[in-house]
Chains A and B, each alone.
Chain A
Amino acid sequence: MTGIKRLTLLALVAVASATAVAQEQRQSPAEWRRMYEMGLKHRTAWDLYTALKVGAGGGKQSPSFAQLPDWSGLWTAAGGGAFFGPGPGGVSPKLTPAAAAMLKQGAELEAKRIVYDENLSECGPPGFPRWLIIPFLREFIARPEQTWLSSETVNNVRRVYTDGRDHPPVEDRYPLYYGDSIGFWDGQKLVIHTNQLMARSMGRSQPTQSEQMETVEIWNKIDARTIAADAWIYDPTLYVEPWYMNRRYSQVPNADKSIRIGYWNCGENPNNDVFKTPDGGTQYRDFTFTGGDNRAKEQGR
């Protein structure tokens, strides 16, 4: 084989590999529908979780380190799915009238550019399931007894207990920003059930979730640079039927190890200090570099 032919072949292999990865990273409409319908077959998130556990032969609790997948490195959200938008193939969530009204109101305010983030603007927690879609860096740390799903945004950590413990008894449950998560391993897949979620906004101009919300997730590394999370969301105040979304997280290139996760503190730099205006919008307070500007005060700080 000549040098040119060899180079051409290598180039073709490289292109084919890249194409294959790109194709694999997009969930097909057929696969999306199969997973979506899996949620429809189960009345509650706990029913779905239990069925998945039975299907996994009871699942594995506290596996050895050697049995765990390698999720090391830095990751970031790579899209896929939305809480209120259509999935692949155009299927949209069936919303309750209350959820539809909240969504409409949020869209109208967005159109008028009246937007304030009740959580992140003051470095409050994004909470779950918003956690699934927030940007910036993430680390996923799998240990036998628990897995930490962490995100740079407001320094949060979701703890998923895989040591066989159950959720707290009903009488001892209380709302949590990220809920209470327990799980089991099905081979290299982590299956999670989350409850005890807090009633709060699901995002900027988005409907408010209820304390009745419960979710099931399946986390799986589908190629060397992609981790996928199937998520089924059950909340009768929002969804007439359980909703399903498939989120992807891609590994962040960091060959020289220069990129690190940093701590978030909205008070660190006064130039990042924003407030909610009387009409519900977002505005900065005074900047340090303008020598005191009164416009923020005039707008109702």
Chain B
Amino acid sequence: MTRVTLATVLGATLFTLAPAFLEAHHSDVMFEDKKEITVEGVVKEFQFTNPHSWLLVDVTNKDGSVTTWGFEAEGPSTLMRNKIRKSDFPFGTKLTITGRPMKDGRPAAIWRKAVRDDGTEFYPSGRASQTN
């Protein structure tokens, strides 16, 4: 199991929200506005569903315990438009993934970027939504 190598990056990382999210299924007020986390882990499950998809990632903590993180993105059609297919993240895929975490501390985040261990980058809201 991949170990956690990068915990929370709580810098004041300003970024532009993906416009679609603003009018999507729900508001994003439960997520941090200006903080991101980046973790390393392995894919537990890719829930390719409407109105939102969830990429579940098992992350090994420093004490050896495992936390399953959920990274939320838009539904399948938006992911497909941004070159993300369900088959891109089979069970066991190693990756580094970045998102805006929940304010209440639960292990969930809005998925911003993922890099598989083969170096391939994925941007579920499009690369244009990234500023860093």
Among candidates A117, A266, A271, A295, residue contacting B105 with C-beta atoms closer than 8 Å:
A295
Taking a contact as CB atoms under 8 Å apart, the answer to whether B75 and A282 are in contact is no
Interface residues on B, range: 35 or more
Residue count of chain A within 8 Å CB distance of chain B: 42
Of A18-26, A132-140, A161-169, A213-221, which stretch is located at the interface?
A132-140
Taking a contact as CB atoms under 8 Å apart, the answer to whether A271 and B70 are in contact is yes
Task: A259 to B68: give the CA distance in the assembly, Å.
Answer: 29
Tell yes or no: B2 within 8 A of A by CB.
no
Tell yes or no: A272 within 8 A of B by CB.
yes
The tally of CB-CB contacts under 8 A between chains A and B is: 111
Taking a contact as CB atoms under 8 Å apart, the answer to whether B54 and A135 are in contact is no
Q: Give every chain A residue within 8 A of B30 (Cβ-Cβ).
A: 274, 281-284
Query: Which partner residue on chain A sits nearest B18 by CB separation?
Result: A135
Tell yes or no: A198 within 8 A of B by CB.
no
Q: DSSP majority for the A interface?
A: loop
Chain B 6-26: CB-based contact to A (< 8 A → 1; otherwise 0): 000000000000011011111
Q: Which of A132-166 contact B (CB under 8 A)?
A: 133-137, 152-153
Q: Which of B20, B49, B68 has the most CB of A within 10 A?
A: B49
Given contacts A281-B29, A290-B106, contact A272 B49 (CB under 8 A): yes
Q: Which of A282-300 contact B (CB under 8 A)?
A: 282-284, 287, 289-290, 293, 295, 299
Given A135-B23, A265-B50, A287-B106, 18 more contacts at CB 8 Å? A114-B29, A120-B25, A120-B26, A120-B51, A121-B25, A153-B51, A204-B23, A258-B80, A260-B77, A261-B77, A262-B50, A272-B49, A272-B52, A272-B54, A282-B27, A289-B70, A290-B107, A293-B106
Task: List chain A positions with a Cβ less than 8 A from chain B.
Answer: 113-117, 120-121, 123, 133-137, 152-153, 203-204, 252, 258-266, 268-269, 271-272, 274, 281-284, 287, 289-290, 293, 295, 299
29 sampled A-B residue pairs with Cβ under 8 A:
A115-B29, A120-B24, A121-B26, A121-B27, A133-B23, A134-B23, A135-B20, A135-B24, A136-B74, A152-B77, A153-B51, A204-B27, A259-B77, A263-B50, A264-B50, A266-B51, A269-B47, A269-B52, A272-B49, A272-B51, A274-B26, A281-B27, A281-B29, A282-B26, A283-B30, A284-B30, A287-B70, A287-B108, A289-B69
